[in-house]
Structure formats: structure tokens, C-alpha cells
Amino acid sequence: MPGEAVTDDYLRMLQKHGGSYCFAGTDGHDTRKAVEVLRKIFGRNKLLLEGGGRINGAFLKAGVINDDQSHDLSGH
């Protein structure tokens, strides 16, 4: 989720490698904006968030996470 100020070269690199993106506000930190854009573009109400503590925490802090499904596979 890049910010709107990201360079065109970076966006071309993402496209070249098959990556997709949506802008998350001017600085890339507006998770509510990103969720709204994803909902509008893809028509989905659920999102699989696979990130580390920083991105997961940002979504949690923004209040856009409302369902937590995690599984402990350490015993397998």
C-alpha cells in the first residue's frame, strides 16, 4: 500500500512483476482508505491480512479488523 507520492518507476516495477497496489492516502498509512478502495474495486467485504506486527497493528489501530481467525500450528 504505497502512498500517493510513490515514484512512477516503483509502480512500473510492481506492474512488471505482476504486483498490484492501491494507494493508502498521501503517505501510505491510511489503512481505512486502503480498505475502502479494496472494497470498491473488488467488491469484497473480507480481506486476508498476512503481515507482520507493524501492518497488522496499523489495521487494528484503525479499527478495520473485526474478525480474528488464527491457528497455532506449532504442535504439527
Those residues with Cβ within 8 angstroms of residue 64's Cβ, 6 or more apart along the chain or in another chain: 31, 32, 35
Amino acid at 17: H
Residues 8-65 pLDDT 10s: 999 999 999 998 888 888 888 888 888 888 888 888 788 788 778 888 888 888 888 8
Alpha helices in 1-76 (DSSP H): 8-16, 31-42, 53-62
User: CA-CA distance, 44 to 11, in Å (whole number)?
Assistant: 24
Write down the pLDDT at residue 17: 94
pTM: 0.61
Neighbour count for residue 70 (Cβ, 10 Å): 5
